[in-house]
Amino acid sequence: MPESLTTQFQTDFQGLSLIDSSKKPEYERPFFNHLDSLNKYDLLFTKEKSSFQKTVKDKFSLSDYLGLEQFVMENTHLVEPTEMQAQEIDWNEIDNAKDFLQDKINKLLGHEQISQTLKPLIEFTIDSFENYAIYTYMHPKSTHNPWMSTHHLLLSGYMYLISDKEELVKEFHPTLYGQKNNQDENVGIITKAKKERKFKGVILDNRLTIQMLVLNYLKKIAPGYENPIPKKRILQHIEEKGITYSDSSFNTAVLLPLKRTLLIGSSSRGYYYMEDNDDFKTSYKFHQSKYAGIEFTMNIYKEGAASRGISL
């Protein structure tokens, strides 16, 4: 294994410090990106094999999370380029890096480190690092590592815990479960910053289940670029199942992650399930034209900045 990786971890942790206070916009997106990236494997697998029937009532639990973790590690070929064989994992080196992280966290927490309450949070943070490291050993240059975003959060000074144990979540954040939109939401994400006994958090909605439902729906009624359906119709389908999403959160929580799996495509007429290369090319061209539009606007800004003497 590249020696640089171990040194890299140690250098990263040497400079680690806890952030002064957690900010929701800073931690919410990385967590959802993390969960979306894990779920991507499941969605891709569903494409390969027969689909798993999901209902909106299916709660996402910590067992599902652990199951996804195991599934991802054993099936990196679903996402990593085929020519990239998984490399050897040096478990001893990972143990060393975990020890290093543990020591650093103990130092940063000072006397708080002995708190029994903090134990699961510390353990989850180190476990997430372990997963990041395992994946990095297997695929050193990967851009798909699902723990990349949690690792960046750690390096930005956050410690965290994902749990479906209501009592445990309440110990950190007594009112978090009061923010539930819906009875089925039972997974809490807790973050800790520098201040003692100060935790923030967010509840995970059932976006992962909805992603699967929408994928199955498009597969059935919108196969190929010639059969797209508008977003309104997808939202209606979800609403019939008792779930409401605002237009913008539906975009970020469901459509965007699905598009990034390259399983669904879009055009000005709506969304469709990508079945073949033509579907792929059509969606690529659509995004390319949107990109060209943005680039055109950016260039106008750049010119405007130059003529106004503003440095960007």
Partner 1 sequence: MNLAEYHPLFTDNLQVVNIELGAGCGNFGQIYYPECFITDMETKSKLDEICTNHFVTISCDARNIPCESNRFKNIIMCNPYGYGFKDRRDYTFLNELYRVSLNEANIIILTSGVNRFATPDKVKIRIKDYNLEHSTTRFMFDYQEIDSEKDYEGYNFFTTNRRKTFPKFKIALKCLKA
Alpha carbon 127 to its chain centroid, in Å, reads: 16
70 binds partner 1 (CB under 8 A): yes
Which of 75/227 has CB closer to partner 1?
Answer: 75
Smallest CA-to-CA distance from 159 within 205, 202, 128, 203 is with: 128
279 binds partner 1 (CB under 8 A): no
Q: How far is the CB of 133 from partner 1 (least distance, A)?
A: 10
> For 131, left (φ over 0), alpha (ψ -120 to 50), or beta?
alpha
Q: How far is the CB of 99 from partner 1 (least distance, A)?
A: 7
Which of 215/255 has CB closer to partner 1?
Answer: 215
Going residue by residue from 35 to 64, which x/- string records binding to partner 1, judged by CB under 8 A? -------x--x------x----------xx
Rounded Cα gap, residues 192 and 132, in angstroms? 20
310 binds partner 1 (CB under 8 A): no
Q: How far is the CB of 131 from partner 1 (least distance, A)?
A: 7
Interface residue with partner 1 among 7, 8, 66, 301 (CB under 8 A) is: 66
Rounded Cα gap, residues 280 and 278, in angstroms? 5
67 binds partner 1 (CB under 8 A): yes
* Contact indicator for 30, 148 with CB cutoff of 8 Å: no
Rounded Cα gap, residues 76 and 145, in angstroms? 9
**16-44 exposure pattern, b = at least 16 Cβ within 10 A, e = fewer:** bebbeebeeeebbebbbbbbbbbbbbbbb
Beta bridge partners of 161: 190
Which of 71/280 has CB closer to partner 1?
Answer: 71
Smallest CA-to-CA distance from 80 within 2, 143, 148 is with: 143
Interface residue with partner 1 among 18, 73, 78, 221 (CB under 8 A) is: 73
Q: Which of residues 109-168 bind partner 1 (CB under 8 A)?
A: 127, 130-131, 134, 138
Which of 74/239 has CB closer to partner 1?
Answer: 74
> For 157, left (φ over 0), alpha (ψ -120 to 50), or beta?
left
26 binds partner 1 (CB under 8 A): no
Which of 6/283 has CB closer to partner 1?
Answer: 6
Which of 45/286 has CB closer to partner 1?
Answer: 45
Which residues contribute to the site for partner 1 (CB under 8 A)? 42, 45, 52, 63-64, 66-68, 70-71, 73-74, 86, 89, 91-92, 95, 98-99, 127, 130-131, 134, 138
